[in-house]
Amino acid sequence: MITFQDKKLYIFETAQGLAQSLASEFLLKLIDWQNTREQIHIALSGGKTPLMIFDELAEKHAEGGREPDWNRIHFYWGDERCVPPDSSESNFGQAWDLWLNRIDIPEENIHRIQGENNELLEAKRYSNELKSCLPLKDNIPRFDWIFLGIGDDGHTASIFPNRLNHFDSRNICEYATHPETGQKRITITGKVINNARRISFLVTGSGKKDIVKEILLNEDSARKYPSWHVKPEAGYVEWWLDKEAASNIDSYI
Ligand code: 6PG
């Protein structure tokens, strides 16, 4: 792990190596946190990058012979596409099919965004669910751990550069539209993201190397990216990167 300005970087030779290491860290941390926290609230990210983590976790339920008490773990999503849960586009659906259906977790501990609902009503419903299920800090839901990806345009969750106001929204969740595909989305807002106790970006592939450099080196051009605005109140932002995604920052770290 490298501390770089106000960030923690974990850089791996391969995406597979990243997935294996993060799966172990994830299970160990859940087991550790259960010594001091009654309930643990995790927000999963969507897109393709997390799928390799889900594959690892589907195989490796336990770490060091111990498995988290899934009765005390709650899963949420940082964003969701406005599609049915069984759609191949569903962030919940991917996590469920690859991993969550294989662990012994109560159904009520899986708090999916109901993408099949009306987007405006669902943004409100999910906001209320987060406020009633999570501990609040400054009256904002506080996740124990949020996983995030970065889009090629610098979006994170479903906060897009053309709607940067969603990052600073007073709301807990917003309804968004993907600027290229027009796909309707529900997303948590920046104040929920920055309120989390732990935030981890998962970024792999050479396609992300330019944007990773802009953001990590704090270049002026990065300010237009919602991902740049992820600056938690407390603690670090972690960047879990493979060598390809980190290839433009080699000479700076
Ligand atoms: C989504 C995600 C989105 C994703 C990034 C990166 O619903 O698509 O939440 O924010 O994390 O677009 O996606 P990839 O991992 O596929 O590059």
C-alpha to C-alpha distance for 161 and 141, rounded to whole angstroms: 24
Residue with CA nearest ligand 1 atom 7: 46
Residue 223 clears pLDDT 90, i.e. is over it: yes
pLDDT tens profile 95-115: 999 999 999 999 999 999 999
Of the candidates 252, 221, 218, 208, the residue with the CA atom closest to the CA atom of residue 47: 208
Residue with CA nearest ligand 1 atom 8: 47
Per the CB < 8 A criterion, the answer to whether 164 and 222 are in contact is no
pLDDT tens profile 40-80: 999 999 999 999 999 999 999 788 888 999 999 999 999 99
Per the CB < 8 A criterion, the answer to whether 130 and 186 are in contact is no
CA of 155 to the centre of ligand 1 (A): 8
Which pTM was predicted? Answer: 0.97
In ligand 1, the atom with minimum distance to the C-alpha of 91 is: 7
Average pLDDT rounded to a whole number, residues 189-218:
97
| The pLDDT value given to residue 62 | 81
CA of 203 to the centre of ligand 1 (A): 10
Of the candidates 100, 11, 10, 1, the residue with the CA atom closest to the CA atom of residue 53: 100
Q: Is 194 in the pocket of ligand 1 (CB under 6 A)?
A: no
In ligand 1, the atom with minimum distance to the C-alpha of 149 is: 11
SS3 163: helix
Q: What percent of the chain has pLDDT over 90?
A: 92
| The pLDDT value given to residue 161 | 98
Bridge partners (DSSP) listed for residue 69 = none
Residue type, 112: R
pLDDT tens profile 119-172: 999 999 999 999 999 999 999 999 999 999 999 999 999 999 999 999 999 999
Q: Is 157 in the pocket of ligand 1 (CB under 6 A)?
A: yes
C-alpha to C-alpha distance for 139 and 141, rounded to whole angstroms: 7
